[in-house]
Amino acid sequence: MMDKTTNETRGGKRRGKKRRRILRYTLLVLVLLVVTGTAFGFHKYNQLKPDNHFSHLKIIGANKNNDDISKYKQKSGTFNVLLIGSDARKGDTASHTDSMVLIHANLNDHTYNMMSLPRDTRVPIQGYGYTKLTSVQYISQVKHGTKEGIIEAVHSISTLTGVPINYYAETNYWGLQYMVDAIGGIEMDLPFKVTLTHPWHSENKGKTFDAGTHTLNGQMVSEITHERYSLPGTDYGRQQLQQAALIGIAKKMMQPSNVTKFPALSQSLSKFLVATNMTTDDMVSIGLGVRGDFRPEQQIKYRQVKGRNATMYDDVLKANNSQVVLDPTELKNVIKKYFTN
């Protein structure tokens, strides 16, 4: 018969083996979790790489009987986005497009071609005839709702230019102001003298900014990019101011002190954007694409297509008004060279 000491020794060995077995299993589970997590992280990172993420993208309005756009083959790592500046005020369910900026982003070679379209550009609208581009969103929103109005505006620009548009992002006066203030203001290089003739805030009327670099808060950036009557070329002058604002925002966003604010800013997108179809993954992928090689003044290129002003019949308003007719040959050449490759 075994004595008590022998039993305790054997019991201790069994408990020791059990503890070691549990430890091995625990370590195995931890290893599996680390490996699985790493594999998931690598898989997710691989998915979000621009040449993978921006591939086989959906085209807005591709089902609206536009075969040329539907059949267009986009290169991986590229996308087209329409930035819309509306005159929407808080609580509005319908708004006019005040500014439209089409951007072709190529994250493979880090080029960003940008073109503004005059708000008075003559375009067709289904069921009505021809009207100004600024009216398309409003008419469609009144009839079909907020989202459909934006999509109709995007489709009109896509049809006009022949560019397949994948994303839209709409802001308004207040959204632009919030964004600029959230990053501590920007430096904006004005190409010419600007006098505020129709500001949102009456106390700003008559304020003048000389050509050159100015440090501006959100309100002033919003007021300046809204101005057009005091500018050379009116709408075309406004386009240059929009470019200056976008470059100023991009430069400020990429400063180290603001990069750390990205997570907080992403949680406040509703303050900046009225509407967008871009997801968090889309934005993360863009961030991966520009990381380490983003020089907005060199990489953002502004393209402009001239047009002629003409008094023409507006089928929506049932009256003649001043409209802009873009030069079709120049438009085709600019689009082919900078927006569809």
Question: In this predicted model, what pLDDT tens digit does every residue of 144-194 receive, in sequence order?
Answer: 888 888 999 999 999 899 999 999 988 888 888 988 998 899 999 999 999
CA atoms within 13 Å, Cβ hemisphere of 166:
23
Average pLDDT over residues 80-105: 85
Q: Look at residue 53 and tell me if it is in a domain.
A: no
Please indicate whether residue 193 or residue 23 has the higher confidence score (pLDDT). 193
Q: What residues make up the domain containing 284? A: 60-338
54 within domain boundaries: no
* 33, 75: one domain: no
Please name which of 28, 65, 236 lies closest in space to residue 155, comparing C-alpha atoms. 65
User: Are residues 249 and 121 both part of a single domain?
Assistant: yes
**66 and 15 fall within a common domain:** no
Ramachandran category for residue 206: left, alpha or beta (phi over 0 → left; psi -120 to 50 → alpha): left
Q: Cα separations (Å) of 324 from 152, 191, 339?
A: 19, 23, 21
Computed over every residue of the chain, the mean pLDDT equals: 83
* Pair (119, 261) in one structural domain: yes
Same domain membership, residue 271 and residue 139? yes
pLDDT beyond 80 at 14? no
> CATH number for the domain including 178?
3.40.630.190
Confidence of residue 4 (pLDDT cuts 50, 70, 90): low
Q: Please tell me whether residues 237 and 331 are part of one structural domain.
A: yes
Looking at residue 201, its pLDDT comes to 92
- For residue 299, pLDDT over 90 is answered with no
Same domain, 44 and 65: no
pLDDT over threshold 60, residue 67: no
User: Do residues 243 and 313 both lie within one domain?
Assistant: yes
Six-digit token string for 204: 């700003």
Cα 13 from Cα 267, distance rounded (Å): 56
Whether residues 15 and 79 share a domain: the answer is no
The answer to the question of residue 55 being in a domain is: no
Q: Are residues 74 and 17 in the same domain?
A: no
pTM of the model: 0.78
Q: What number is the average pLDDT over the span 87-92?
A: 74
**Total domain count for the chain?**
2
Q: Residue 331 and residue 324: Cα distance in Å, rounded?
A: 13
pLDDT band at 42 (very low <50, low <70, confident <90, very high): low
Examine the pLDDT at 78 and tell me if it is beyond 70: yes
If asked whether residues 282 and 321 sit together in one domain, one would say: yes
